Amino acid sequence: MSNSNRRSSKRDSLKKVFRASRRQPKKSIIRQFFEAILMLSIGITLLSGLNQIPQEVDILEKTSDTFSALLSGLIEVFTSLVTIGSGLILGGLMIFGLVLLLGGLWRLLRVISLFIMISSSTNKSRRVSSRLRR
């Protein structure tokens, strides 16, 4: 019986997900009034503060200076990334060249050793065949 209670409680908890959400209780009129007054006072303070910015400040000039500084900074970052990338590519190419050089030397040594082994075995067979003829 306790097993069926557990199953039903699981079903109930799953069903809660698909139930319609409960409506939030309405805010009281006093709270709505204070929220409205607070929003109005913050908005008025913000706009009056922005209005007191001196008229001599040329906003377009400031924004163009800001964007030019931003763009020059981005250009410097890009050039530094290109420099780092080119250095990494050159380093990688140097390592790749060294690997190719060492691999080529290793294969050349193997070929030379195989050639020496073949030539020595043919010389021995020639010696043996020449001794047999005598």
User: 1-36: string of b/e by CB count within 10 Å (b at 16+)?
Assistant: eeeeeeeeeeeeeeeeeeeeeeeeeeeeeeeeeeee
Confidence at residue 85, expressed as pLDDT on a 0 to 100 scale: 95
Confidence at residue 4, expressed as pLDDT on a 0 to 100 scale: 59
Q: pTM of this prediction?
A: 0.44
SS (H, E, C) 4-55: HHHHHHHHHHHHHHHCCCCCCCCCCHHHHHHHHHHHHHHHHHHHHHHHCCCC
Q: Which residue has the tokens 């139930």?
A: 19
Helix (H/G/I), strand (E/B), else coil: 79: helix
**Distance (Å, rounded) from C-alpha 57 to C-alpha 66?**
14
- Nearest alpha carbon to residue 115 among 123, 105, 103: 123
Confidence at residue 16, expressed as pLDDT on a 0 to 100 scale: 65
Listed in sequence order, the residues at least 6 apart from 122 whose beta carbon sits closer than 8 Å to its beta carbon are: none
Q: Which ranges of the chain have pLDDT less than 70? A: 1-20, 55-57, 124-134
Confidence at residue 43, expressed as pLDDT on a 0 to 100 scale: 93
Helices and strands counted in the chain (H then E): 3, 0
Confidence at residue 2, expressed as pLDDT on a 0 to 100 scale: 57
